[in-house]
Chains A and B, each alone.
Chain A
């Protein structure tokens, strides 16, 4: 029964990693941009929610509704003003720029909030739990996983069922020919990054309410996100969820054997999948 409980906890933890990774997967899938500042953007959004909760006395749920459009605007601006200028056949410039952005965000947060650990207060649900058959799970982990599924369902509906999604896929396939259809790839990229930042805000809500965070934890979140995306297969959102779950289960199983092995077990699972399926579990045909 302990093992079943461990696996269930791992699956639910995978929902959080999938949320970390979904925005990264979306941006990579559309514009082949690897955003090294993605983890720091999650932490930045967590601080934004924290300010709204502690400064204005809002509930975290209301705060995320305010933070999400602000983060969309930030992502849109970041893409239009900075990232669009460095996109091109050479992948190095965007890597360097987002690496620099990562450092800048960490230092700005350090300056503004100090190195102290923070947590978004959520007294209503913090310790709440619910029985799922033979195992008992926290309400917040369940909400996290449900949010990850919901986010992926919504994004898939947008990508495969709307004109905007058609523009995303066409621009991803061939930006020059997309231009001939009247689509402006740089505008499409900006909207995609804006949407990715809204997903980042949802991830930040659960990051900040479930555990402590500080300005330096972004790069580790980026690594989990990367691993989930790569395990799932580049560009596949359901694959990203599967990737998150694999890392989550590996971590909780590792921790059950020896608490010191939690993070290592996740990395080993990643390496194992990479050895068996180098293109991930559900790669898109053309990637």
Chain B
């Protein structure tokens, strides 16, 4: 098993957003986390990425406790994150945004500037522009490329389709199979259930900080998802 959370409680100060969340991710797997606004999806991502500190044993990477490690230390272990809202660095160009993602890269993996430009050709044309001057979809490409530059074995994608047009979302998700070809596992946080079910090997549904449903897309019925997503009965 690549990553596991065990009874993960997390929050912000006195406010708790997650209550005993258990998920697991195997090597090379694509796991989708679905749930409504405020369900705790981003808190789960931020906890795994080391942005929110936790008790060490609440998050295990290859069996080792990593819950209390810093974001920098988590990246060194091969877990990279595409944060919600892209969060590109405004004072860096597109290329510099990509380069800074690889500044602490692990070993000699396959992701380089050239392979990122091959994945998202438009970025080569825009390489000298400030990252924040790009369209939303292009910014998302930079954010994904920036995370890939560290050669991760687990990529955390937090709401990568949020605020984007359907045609742009399709382009972004078209890159996912090529990312998985490298052997990397992916956790995708999505509010778009159809999109999540299309790309994921396994799905977890969160509601009010708790896992209310899990399984493979084939196992999950529309009614069960509706009930787990919104509560009550379909």
User: Which A residues fall within an 8 A CB radius of B?
Assistant: 163, 166-167, 169-170, 172-174, 176-184, 284-286
- By the criterion CB–CB under 8 Å, are B150 and A182 in contact? yes
B70 and A166 form a contact (CB under 8 A):
no
CB contacts under 8 Å to A, within B145-201, are: 146-147, 150
Would A179 and B89 count as touching, CB distance under 8 A?
A: no
B 76-97 binary contact with A (CB < 8 Å = 1; else 0): 1000110100010111100010
Indicate with 1 or 0, residue by residue over B88-115, a CB within 8 angstroms of chain A CB atoms.
Answer: 0111100010011101100000000000
A169 close to B91 (CB less than 8 A): yes
Task: Tell me which of A183, A284, A285 contacts B104 (CB under 8 A).
Answer: A183
- Chain B residues lying within 8 Å of A176, measured Cβ to Cβ, are 51, 71
Whether B209 is near chain A, meaning CB under 8 Å from some CB there, is no
Contact of B103 among A173, A177, A183, A286 (CB under 8 A): A183
* Selected contact of A183 from candidates B50, B51, B72, B146, CB within 8 Å: B72
A286 touches B90 (CB 8 A): yes
Give the CA-CA distance A91 to B96 in the complex, in Å. 30
Q: Looking across the interface, which residue of chain A has its beta carbon closest to that of B156?
A: A180
Cα of A118 to Cα of B222 in the assembled complex, Å: 83
> Are A167 and B91 in contact, with the CB atoms below 8 A?
no
Q: Which of A170, A172, A180 contacts B71 (CB 8 A)?
A: A180
* Contact bitstring B45-57, A, C-beta under 8 A = 1, else 0: 0000111000000
Residues A166 and B99 in contact in the complex (CB < 8 Å), given A174-B87, A179-B70: yes
Q: How many residues of B contact A (CB 8 A)?
A: 25
Q: Cβ of A284: which chain B residues have Cβ within 8 Å of it?
A: 91
A166 touches B96 (CB 8 A): yes
Q: Which residues of B contact A (CB under 8 A)?
A: 49-51, 70-72, 75-76, 80-81, 83, 87, 89-92, 96, 99-101, 103-104, 146-147, 150
B-side contacts of A167, CB under 8 Å: 100, 103
Asked if residues A179 and B103 are in contact (CB atoms below 8 Å), the reply is no
Q: Tell which of A173, A179, A183, A184 touches B90, judged by Cβ atoms closer than 8 Å.
A: A173
A residues in contact with B100, CB < 8 Å: 163, 166-167, 170, 178, 181, 183
B212 CB → nearest A CB, Å: 28
Q: Which 8 A-B pairs have the closest CB atoms?
A: A182-B104, A179-B71, A182-B75, A173-B89, A177-B87, A169-B91, A170-B89, A182-B72
Bound state CA distance, A285 and B130, in angstroms? 12
Known: A166-B92, A166-B100, A167-B100. A181 touches B87 (CB 8 A): no
Residues of chain B within 8 A (CB-CB) of A174 are 87, 89
B83 touches A172 (CB 8 A): no
What's the least CB distance linking B46 to chain A, in Å? Answer: 9
Query: How near does chain A come to B63, taking the closest CB pair, in angstroms?
Result: 23
Q: How far is the CA of A154 from the CA of B90 in the complex (A)?
A: 23
- A182-B76 CB under 8 A given contacts A170-B100, A177-B83: yes
Q: Are A173 and B91 in contact (CB under 8 A)?
A: yes
Set of chain B residues within 8 Å of A285, measured between Cβ atoms: 90
Which residues of the partner chain B approach A184 to less than 8 Å between Cβ atoms? 70, 72
What's the nearest-Cβ distance from chain B to residue A206, in Å? 31
- Give the CA-CA distance A160 to B49 in the complex, in Å: 28
Cα distance A284–B147 when bound, in Å? 27
Nearest Cβ distance between residue A20 and chain B, in whole angstroms?
25
- For B150, give the chain A residue with the smallest CB separation: A182
